[in-house]
Amino acid sequence: MDLPRHHTIRETSHRIIDPFTDHQLATLGRALRLDPGATVLDLACGKGELLCTWARDHQTVGTGVDLSTVFVAAARERATSLNVDVTFVQGDASSYVAHEPVDVASCVGATWIGGGVVGTLELLGRSLKPRGIALIGEPFWRAGPPNEFLSLPDLVRQLGDAGWDLVEMVLADEHSWDRYVAAQWLNIRRFLDEHPDDELAPAFREELSTGPLDYVTNQRPNLGWGVFALMRRP
């Protein structure tokens, strides 16, 4: 199993596969007050930037799991370049449980692995120490009536109803959304220039023709995203 090619092509230049900047990711790490040696499990870890930079900055150790062979290869290269104690596994994160309970278990931006927020929290909880922290990265609707996503108050309510205390959060902003989404347009354009006859070219051409206007009209002003730190209630 592997991720479809269009995902990895679209995010060729990204190290963080979410609408977070380096600064926001670092802010989250500091907010959690991580101790040296703390253990972290990151499911659907992408290119491993969370694990690698926190290991560098906070001396944590950890494991990342992702379906994409491309992303896992990039994550391993990043860990080697930073000389940090992080392991990456290529495989299906939806059933992965840590061999030993961890201090932090995260799924940042891929709650589909558990069938949604509640199911993903249940999955993360199987790997957590009794007072461990679960991290969930999830979109929410900022403006207008909620559509496929919950509003921020409803999302926070859902987390509480599932039996977890919200203890920290860091939210994306329009700038960090730009750095995630707009950067994809250049990746797509360069791919089209280099591979005009690729089977993905027609769909990418349509995406580049219509995507920017749709983004600035609908997604940028209306869609939020954040990482929520949670501890299970006694």
Q: Is residue 123 in a domain? A: yes
Q: Is residue 71 in a domain? A: yes
Q: Which pLDDT value is given to residue 145?
A: 62
Percentage of the chain exceeding pLDDT 90 = 95
CA distance 170 to 228: 7
Q: How many other CB atoms are found less than 10 A from the CB of residue 76?
A: 18
CATH number for 114 = 3.40.50.150
CA distance 2 to 119: 22
Structure tokens at 60: 């944590």
Q: Which residues share a beta bridge with 167? A: none
Q: Which helix (H) or strand (E) holds 168?
A: strand 164-171
**Alpha-helical segments (H) within 61-200:** 69-82, 117-125, 152-161, 174-194
Q: Is residue 51 in a domain? A: yes
Q: Which pLDDT value is given to residue 194?
A: 97
| Structural domain boundaries, residue 36 | 5-177+217-232
Q: Which pLDDT value is given to residue 146?
A: 62
**What is the Cβ-side half-sphere exposure of residue 81, based on CA atoms within 13 angstroms?**
10
Which amino acid type is present at position 125?
G
Nearest to 141 by CA among 149, 132, 129, 130: 149
Q: Which pLDDT value is given to residue 23?
A: 98
Q: Is residue 75 in a domain? A: yes
CA distance 34 to 29: 7
Which residues in the chain show pLDDT less than 70? 145-146
Q: Is residue 188 in a domain? A: no
Extended strands (E) in 20-160: 39-43, 61-66, 86-90, 102-108, 128-141
CA distance 14 to 25: 14
Q: Is residue 183 in a domain? A: no
Q: Is residue 200 in a domain? A: no
Q: Is residue 211 in a domain? A: no
CA distance 64 to 83: 16
Cα 190 to chain center, whole Å? 24
Nearest to 168 by CA among 215, 89, 226: 226
Structural contact between residues 179 and 19, judged by C-beta atoms closer than 8 angstroms: yes
- 3-class secondary structure, 96: coil
Domain count for the chain: 1
Q: Which pLDDT value is given to residue 213?
A: 97
